[in-house]
Amino acid sequence: MKQGFMSIVVVAALTGCALTGPLEQSPAPDVQITGEGQIRPLARPETLNTSMSAPPVAARTVEEFDTTTAQQRSEAVAEAATEGGEVDLGRTIASLGSPTEPGFWLKTPLVSAPSKGRVVYPVSGKSVAVDLIPIDGPKTAGSRMSLPAMRLIEAPLTELPEVQVFRVSG
């Protein structure tokens, strides 16, 4: 009797597997598979400033990678100078993010949703308005900052500067 019951359980389990078919693996929604079978991440258009152009493929110098205009840089500094209505999120260690991603941004675990913010580099006293982009990790983990933002606050590109982060409320 016991063997008969176990046989029924095994047959039912295998039948259930046959009905569902093989598990199909689909790529995550934020990646694409290229013709060569490589997986590439997709940009998050809702978080990246699309008004700034990507650097040329042949870019090699800091100036070539920083595609922001003088007007965009002055607007980012002017916007950061506007005080009031912000929340101090704390300090983070910032490394240089991908120089191929244009714009003024900080990818940080200090935020859980995309928002506008400001970053201050206490050594220079300079600040810049940035898009705050959430990344996974504990609040004590480091952050990645865009090349144009690091240049405007005069942070060293080859070091790990500590910066103060504010979210603009409202």
List the domains of the chain with CATH numbers: 2-33 (no CATH), 46-168 (2.40.40.10)
pLDDT value, residue 163: 97
- In the chain, count of helices (H) and strands (E)? 4, 8
Query: What pLDDT, on the 0 to 100 scale, is given for residue 47?
Result: 41
Give the span between the Cα atoms of 87 and 74, in whole angstroms.
23
CA 141, 142, 144, 149 torsion-angle sign: positive
Q: Do 77 and 136 contact (CB within 8 A), yes or no?
A: no
Q: What is the pLDDT along the chain (170 residues), one digit of tens a residue?
A: 556 555 555 555 555 544 444 444 444 445 555 556 655 554 444 444 446 778 777 777 888 888 788 888 888 888 877 666 899 999 999 999 999 999 999 999 999 999 999 999 999 999 999 999 999 999 999 999 999 999 999 999 999 999 999 999 76
The pLDDT value recorded for residue 7 is: 56
Q: What does the chain come to in residues?
A: 170
